[in-house]
């Protein structure tokens, strides 16, 4: 079956690319070629002809070979701060796994009688942690930290059925989706939020931490409610056994006793990282402008993630690691470099949409065919467009690419900026169908437990619901 899907991709990708080329004769060479390359890469991503990270690199390389990108600048996004955030957060998660802190957290939830009652209740417990953490910590950090814990839990509570199928895929996807949904709640929860706030500030529209939360939290809570109902439909089919969970908790009861030194150091470094991540938002909320500027300049999310990782390499956990650090060089090769390269390549590919002029063409097309009086259709179209485009590129790249275009569209139509831009930025984190769309999707895909087809099938419904919910909330705010 895998071979058949790969062969299908090899056949369909060039055919779709040619089709896009021939139906876009009105475009000038560069945006036309980028649209063609994006169509080709989309098929490769869907059919996994080659590793997803390599597909992103292939798209950028094609642009270089065809003369629409310079090799000196085409791959600059591999050094983007978000990549450093990935590396640092993966190393934090690796330290949790190495020293057993993830198992301690899992045991705490598994040992609670309320959550033992059913698989769905267990999912509620873990998904709420994912949702809540991602409000205050980057959603990529949250999922990277929870993933090893979730893999252990799903092996225990999601046994395969008679046909070899398991509900573990929905458990893992639900944790990733919870992080994406929770991440829209605060300015610091997801990179597109920060990008949107920055672009609005450039237009003289300021929005503070509390105001963002006041507007975005209702959207995230309503979407999280939909997610719980949706996942309950899948998880109720599992062959769940409460006795297995109780036996597991009893067997590992000793692991809930005194913390080991490695766990203490990992917890201390993680708490330090969280404090530094939260500090700029707190200072902004308290009106401490100079402190906010200082923290934002010297302690960005990426800087803090790398600092935390370095501390873990520097601080030895007593005698547990023979005098070496809490992390060692062996841990460097055990983080998910494929996901890191996927996100870097996806950002590079998304940037081509801007530099080629394709983004500008899309923006003008929307303006030309949009009636400023038809606000429902306009908001729905903008949200749906960005949400679906995010599926084929990173949410950060799409936010950087399309938020300024959409601001231009709104200004051209003489419409207010704040609420539609909020909706578009939130939509950047609401893509659930492909790994490259958001960091949580990419991270759980990296577990090798989830196929592209499963993610597409599960995420499509949530994409549609997300589009409708965002549109409704934005229109309510605009009334």
Domain ranges in the chain? 1-73, 79-196+205-332
Whose tokens are 């370095």? That residue is: 310
pLDDT value of position 241: 73
Instruction: List the end-to-end C-alpha distance of the chain, in Å, as a whole number.
Output: 51
Spatial CA neighbour of 392 closest among 459, 438, 451:
438
Using a pLDDT cut of 90, give the percent of the chain over it.
16
Asked if the model's pLDDT at residue 177 lies above 60, the reply is yes
Q: How far apart are CA 257 and CA 369, in angstroms?
A: 65
> How does residue 425 score in pLDDT terms, banded at 50, 70 and 90?
very high
393 CA to centre of own chain: 11
Q: What mean pLDDT comes out for the span 284-289?
A: 78
Separation between Cα atoms, residue 94 and residue 141, nearest integer Å:
11
pLDDT of residue 14: 92
Dihedral sign of CA atoms 232, 234, 239, 240 in order: negative
Q: Are 302 and 81 in contact (CB under 8 A)?
A: yes
d(CA 271, CA 266): 9
Q: Which of 45-49, 178-182, 253-257, 300-304 has the lowest mean pLDDT?
A: 253-257
The mean pLDDT of the chain is: 81
pLDDT(311) > 90: yes
Q: Which pLDDT does position 74 carry in this prediction? A: 79
| pLDDT tens-digit series, residues 429-479 | 888 988 878 888 888 887 778 888 888 888 999 999 999 999 999 999 887
Window from 87-101, 169-183, 398-412, 458-472 with minimum mean pLDDT: 398-412
Confidence band, pLDDT 50/70/90 cuts, at residue 321 = low
DSSP state at residue 432: -
pLDDT at 161: 62
Cα separation of 151 and 242, whole Å?
A: 18
What is the C-alpha to C-alpha distance for residues 441 and 395, in angstroms, rounded to an integer? 11
Q: Place 216 in a pLDDT band, splitting at 50, 70 and 90.
A: very high
- Segment 317-326 mean pLDDT: 73
Q: Residue 93's pLDDT is what?
A: 76
- Residue 129: what pLDDT? 85
Q: Is the pLDDT of residue 97 over 90?
A: no
pLDDT at 254: 61
Tell me the three state secondary structure of residue 328.
coil
Confidence check: pLDDT of 16 > 80: yes
What is the C-alpha to C-alpha distance for residues 470 and 219, in angstroms, rounded to an integer? 7
Nearest-angstrom CA–CA distance, 188 and 214: 14
Q: Is the pLDDT of residue 2 over 70?
A: no
User: Rounded to whole angstroms, how far apart are CA atoms 410 and 418?
Assistant: 10
Q: Give the global pTM.
A: 0.71
Q: Between 103 and 179, whose confidence is greater?
A: 179
Mean pLDDT for the stretch of residues 370-397: 78
């Amino acid at each position: 079956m895998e071979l058949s899907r790969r062969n299908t991709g090899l056949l369909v990708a060039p055919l779709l690319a040619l089709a896009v080329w021939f139906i876009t004769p009105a475009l000038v060479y560069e945006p036309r070629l980028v649209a063609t390359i994006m169509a080709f890469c989309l098929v490769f991503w869907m059919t996994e002809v080659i590793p997803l990270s390599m597909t992103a690199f292939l798209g950028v390389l094609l642009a270089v070979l065809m003369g629409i990108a310079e090799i000196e600048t085409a791959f600059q996004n591999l050094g983007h701060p978000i990549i450093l955030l990935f590396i640092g957060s993966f190393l934090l998660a690796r330290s949790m796994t190495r020293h057993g802190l993830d198992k301690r957290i899992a045991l705490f939830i598994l040992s609670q009688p309320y959550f033992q009652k059913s698989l769905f209740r267990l999912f509620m417990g873990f998904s709420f942690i994912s949702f809540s953490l991602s409000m205050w910590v980057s959603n990529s950090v949250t999922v990277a930290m929870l993933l090893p814990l979730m893999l252990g839990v799903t092996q225990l509570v999601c046994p395969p059925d008679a046909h070899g199928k398991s509900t573990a895929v929905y458990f893992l996807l639900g944790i990733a989706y919870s992080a994406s949904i929770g991440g829209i709640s605060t300015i610091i929860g997801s990179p597109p939020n920060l990008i949107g706030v920055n672009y609005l500030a450039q237009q003289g529209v300021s929005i503070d931490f509390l105001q963002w939360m006041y507007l975005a939290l209702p959207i995230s809570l309503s979407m999280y409610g939909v997610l719980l109902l949706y996942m309950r439909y899948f998880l109720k089919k599992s062959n769940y056994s409460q006795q297995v969970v109780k036996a597991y908790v009893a067997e590992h009861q000793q692991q809930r006793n005194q913390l080991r030194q490695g766990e203490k150091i990992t917890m201390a470094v993680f708490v330090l990282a969280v404090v530094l991540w939260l500090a700029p938002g707190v200072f902004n909320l308290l009106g401490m402008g100079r402190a906010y500027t200082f923290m934002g300049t010297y302690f960005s999310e990426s800087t803090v993630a790398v600092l935390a990782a370095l501390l873990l390499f520097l601080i030895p956990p007593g005698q547990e690691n023979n005098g070496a650090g809490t992390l060692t060089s062996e841990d460097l090769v055990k983080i998910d470099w494929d996901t890191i390269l996927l996100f870097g390549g996806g950002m590079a590919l998304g940037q081509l949409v801007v530099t080629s002029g394709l983004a500008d063409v899309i923006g003008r097309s929307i303006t030309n065919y949009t009636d400023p009086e038809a606000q429902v259709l306009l908001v729905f179209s903008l949200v749906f467009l960005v949400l679906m485009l995010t599926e084929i590129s990173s949410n950060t790249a799409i936010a950087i690419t399309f938020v300024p275009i959409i601001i231009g569209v709104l200004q051209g139509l003489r419409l207010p900026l704040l609420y539609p831009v909020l909706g578009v930025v939130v939509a950047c984190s609401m893509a659930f169908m492909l790994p490259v769309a958001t960091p949580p999707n990419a991270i759980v895909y990296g577990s090798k437990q989830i196929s592209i087809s499963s993610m597409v099938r599960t995420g499509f419904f949530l994409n549609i619901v997300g589009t409708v919910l965002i549109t409704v909330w934005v229109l309510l705010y605009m009334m």
